[in-house]
Amino acid sequence: MGETTVPPTAGLPLTWSDLLPWGAGDFSQQLSAWLGVPQVQLECSGTSALMVALRALRTLKPGRSEVIAPAYTCPLVALAIAQCGLHLRLCDLRADALDMDSARLQQLCSDKTLAVLPTHLCGRVADVDAALQCARAVGAYVIEDAAQALGARSNGSTVGMQGDVGFFSLAVGKGLSTFEGGVLLARDAEIRAALQAQGQRTKFSWWWELRRSVELLGYAALYRPSGLGVAYGKPLAASLARGDWVEAAGDDFDDMIPQHRLGRWRQTVGARALQRLAAFQQQTADQARNRIAQLKACGFEVVEDAVPHAQGVWPVLLLRLPSPQSRDAMLQAHWGDGSGLSLPFVHVLPDYGRYDHVLAAARQDDVTQARDWAQRLLAISNSPWLDDARFARLLGDLQQVVA
């Protein structure tokens, strides 16, 4: 087509000067200041951060073995819970918001529950208060899965501080990236100490650090309009040609979650890029506001924060289309052409099949509403590289598809 390939989400591009190995200061301190929290703890991925949190909370409540997550979430969450020797339960979603149904959550909570995971999916702020009420009634913890929501705020402070623990992802595609990385935060000093003690068990690995450093260099080189055709467009087209939507969406994860330290040089790169994150998020928020208004004016349902007084972040614009058929038709027409359409996740967790071995009893949990969401959601990239003309064409095609 000759047009640039738009990345599926609005990631912050790196500049060559981000890669200088000196003089950027301490990343974790800068990130704490940026978020307005006393302290953050760096891990090698969001998933690894979740595992550190689960193990730390288990030392505080050793008798508890169940973790409740939304039925529509990243499969890595299920893998992390299994790797910690814990049991997943799946909570169905509300019909009117992309968030856990609190009546269902209440039924799932018991004295076996270690933690509940309200999830700020695609930057949309979830109702953490509702999760806290259910969790507190049975003495369980709340871990905010804010993997896709670095920079999102609620009630005047960053997401992740309302529950007992919060975590962000620094993976490619989630905003600020050290290729892979994770961030833990906690309000309570006792829980922070438990997270630290658990985190200190993780060892530095030269092999992983070398690999991730090379990958980060590749990201710096190719995450630009001229590079994404090769780095993202080609493999995507190959997956779609095979009809493999799970691979196309990047939902094909291996069982084993590596745990190691986030190395110094990658922290320096993160610290430099962080200087530009607020301005970038302002730009993408402005673009989102403008495009959401256009989508709504055409009668489309745009997914918003689940609570009032929240300011989510906008890696993508999320639409709920009227039917699975219209959603699939739009993907068939445009997923492979680099216009920036994608799916947050292809399925609810029990519908992948490939994750059945970690779901166990959770395969029997009712996921009716979540499945409906999974079949009708469509993500439009909010990358600035999706220009107004191309967005206007997508909007025109969307109107045709639902007509």
Ligand X SMILES: *Cc1c(COP(=O)(O)O)cnc(C)c1O
In the complex, minimum distance from the CB of residue 121 to ligand X, in angstroms, rounded to a whole number: 6
Q: Strand, coil or helix: what is 276? A: helix
Nearest CB to ligand X, comparing residues 148 and 375: 148
Binding ligand X (rule: CB under 6 A), the pick from 52, 56, 67, 76 is 76
> Distance between CA 251 and CA 176 in Å, rounded?
20
Which letter, b or e, does each residue of 30-65 get, where b requires 16 or more Cβ atoms within 10 Å of its Cβ? Answer: bbbebbebebbbbbbbbbbbbbbbbbbbbeeeeebe
Q: Which residue, among 71, 19, 24, 77, has the nearest Cα to 51 in the 3D structure?
A: 77
- Taking each helix axis from N to C end, the angle separating 206-222 and 264-297, rounded to the nearest 10 degrees, works out to 40
Q: How far, in whole angstroms, is CA 219 from its chain's centroid? A: 18
Q: What is the CA radius of gyration of the chain?
A: 20
* Count of positions on this chain that bind ligand X (CB under 6 A): 16
Binding ligand X (rule: CB under 6 A), the pick from 73, 239, 287, 381 is 73
Q: Output the CA–CA distances (angstroms, integers) from residue 390 to 1, 320, 375, in the order listed.
A: 13, 20, 25
Nearest CB to ligand X, comparing residues 341 and 401: 341
Nearest CB to ligand X, comparing residues 170 and 228: 170
Nearest CB to ligand X, comparing residues 100 and 398: 100
Q: Are strands 141-145 and 165-169 parallel, antiparallel or unpaired?
A: parallel
Binding ligand X (rule: CB under 6 A), the pick from 145, 209, 305, 365 is 145
- H or E element, residue 113: strand 113-116
Over the window 39 to 68, marking each residue x when it contacts ligand X by CB under 6 A and - when it does not, the resulting string is ------xxx---------------------
Over the window 340 to 369, marking each residue x when it contacts ligand X by CB under 6 A and - when it does not, the resulting string is ------------------------------
What's the token pair of residue 286? 């402005």
Nearest CB to ligand X, comparing residues 4 and 144: 144
Nearest CB to ligand X, comparing residues 225 and 258: 258
Binding ligand X (rule: CB under 6 A), the pick from 51, 53, 74, 82 is 74
Q: Tokens 């993500």 label which residue?
A: 379
Residues 6+ apart with CB under 8 A from 118: 70, 99, 100, 126, 127, 128, 130, 131, 142, 144, 145, 163
E strands within 13-79?
Answer: 41-43, 66-70
Q: Are 109 and 128 in contact (CB under 8 A)?
A: no
Binding ligand X (rule: CB under 6 A), the pick from 5, 113, 148, 154 is 148
72-80, 235-243, 320-328, 383-391 -> range binding ligand X (CB under 6 A): 72-80
Binding ligand X (rule: CB under 6 A), the pick from 4, 119, 198, 267 is 119
Residue 99 near ligand X by CB under 6 A: no
In the complex, minimum distance from the CB of residue 161 to ligand X, in angstroms, rounded to a whole number: 18
31-39, 145-153, 194-202, 286-294 -> range binding ligand X (CB under 6 A): 145-153
Q: Are 171 and 183 in contact (CB under 8 A)?
A: no
Over the window 150 to 169, marking each residue x when it contacts ligand X by CB under 6 A and - when it does not, the resulting string is -------------------x
In the complex, minimum distance from the CB of residue 315 to ligand X, in angstroms, rounded to a whole number: 10
Closest-by-Cβ residue to ligand X is 46
Nearest CB to ligand X, comparing residues 52 and 380: 52
Find the binding residues for ligand X in span 179-218 (CB under 6 A).
180, 182
CA dihedral 211, 212, 214, 215 (to 10 degrees): 120
Query: Which residues lie near ligand X (CB under 6 A)?
Result: 45-47, 73-74, 76-77, 119, 121, 145, 147-148, 169, 171, 180, 182
